[in-house]
Structure 1
């Protein structure tokens, strides 16, 4: 039986690639986006498999309404993909409270609301999958991406606990950690006002974000195929870094953390009451 997918940010990047991959697999996709007109070509090409739904994931009332409507009409949501997102560049000191909170609304509170909305029916059926689009920046970070990585670290911590809670109920959780893929992410970014003292550290990140859009090595279609393969596996991984840079960054960070903890292990362990 074909699956029913709900994919946020389905009009571009990984969302669009996943929509196309799911359709090719014979599934039905409810493609959610803030501007549904950007999905008109996909709906026209696959009228029996793709339907566009207007959704801003920061509108929590709309999240509940959309999930209830899709569940009522299709009977279920087999796969939720929390893909909607954007990026932000700025030093931690440069990033305003409003900028930080706005990013958390998109990357943490919206996905959390969608997870809460789909879980009751998934629990009842004892099946389903939740795909969280994170980033290699959800495992490590560097100058200029403190706000972005803060949201992705939060999403990953949320997802690790979520897996422990829902795996015994037959529900999968997959956190995808891409490196640089040719999506519109860098073109959809906000930038904080600059402080001169951070020019040497954050300046290169600003330049990379401005110049890198459209030249990334990663192919979103191949990423979508990898995600479908991981979901179909008997032992779906929790963490799936994608791209050479993504894999290298995550493995390098894990090695660095292990080396640092090991170097300070004696001091760290010698902290119990005598």
Structure 2
């Protein structure tokens, strides 16, 4: 039996590649984007399997209406892919409240609203999968990505708890942590006003983002195939880092955390009341 997918940000990058991979597997995809006309070629190529809908993930009422409509017409949503997103570059001090809140709306509150909307239907059927597109920046961060990583850390923390909560209902949660992939992410970047104080640290990140679009080593189609493989596995992992850079960076970060804990273990353990 074919699955019904709901994919946000399906017009480009991972969203488009996941849509194509799901269709190749014989499934049906409700592909959403703020401008659904950008999905016209995919709909024309697969009119019986792909439906394009307009959806802004910051529009809570629109999310509720879309999920209700999809369930009424298709009977279910088997896989939700929270993919819509963008990047932001700026030092912590440079980033304004408005910039930070706008990014959280897209990367945290939008996905949260979508998850809440689909869960009652998945719980009733006791099956389903939720794919959260995070980043290796959801495990670690560096100068210039405070806001971006802040949203991804939040998404991952919420998703880890979610996985525990919905496991008894047969629902899978998969957090995807890509490294540098050739998507449109670096072409959709907002940036904070620059302070000279951070020219040396954040400046390098700004230059990397400005020059990196189109040269990233990761293939989104291969990433989509890995995601489908993970979802089909009997034991789907909670986290799936993708790409050499992501795997190396996450492992190195975890090694560093372990080493730092070991170095300070005597101090950190000596914090209980004396017997």
- TM-score by shorter chain over 0.5: yes
Aligned to 1:214: 214
Structure 2 spans left out of the alignment, 5+ residues: none
Aligned to 2:234: 234
CA drift of 1:210 comes to 0.3
Q: Tell me, what secondary structure is at the counterpart of 2:130?
A: strand
Q: Tell me, what secondary structure is at the counterpart of 1:186?
A: helix
**CA RMSD, Structure 1 to Structure 2 (Å):** 0.3
Offset from partner CA, 1:107-158 (integer Å, 9 cap, x none): 0000000000000010000000000000000000000000000000000000
Matched, 1:122 2:122: yes
Aligned to 1:243: 243
Aligned to 1:28: 28
Offset from partner CA, 1:57-93 (integer Å, 9 cap, x none): 0000000000000000000000000000000000000
**Aligned mates of 1:16, 1:40 — CA distance in 2:** 12
CA drift of 1:168 comes to 1.1
Aligned to 2:150: 150
Offset from partner CA, 1:212-240 (integer Å, 9 cap, x none): 00000000000000000000000000000
TM-score (norm. length: structure 2): 0.99
**How many residue pairs were aligned?**
274
**Aligned mates of 1:166, 1:266 — CA distance in 2:** 37
Aligned to 2:92: 92
**Aligned mates of 2:262, 2:166 — CA distance in 1:** 33
TM-score (norm. length: structure 1): 1.00
- Correspondences of 1:43-122 after superposition (within 5 Å): 43-122=43-122
**Aligned mates of 1:12, 1:141 — CA distance in 2:** 25
Aligned to 2:164: 164
Aligned to 1:8: 8
Aligned to 1:138: 138
**Aligned mates of 1:186, 1:99 — CA distance in 2:** 17
Aligned to 1:223: 223
**Aligned mates of 1:192, 1:47 — CA distance in 2:** 41
**Aligned mates of 2:166, 2:224 — CA distance in 1:** 24
Q: Tell me, what secondary structure is at the counterpart of 1:80?
A: strand
Structure 1 spans left out of the alignment, 5+ residues: none
**Aligned mates of 2:262, 2:64 — CA distance in 1:** 46
**Aligned mates of 1:26, 1:169 — CA distance in 2:** 25
CA drift of 1:199 comes to 0.4
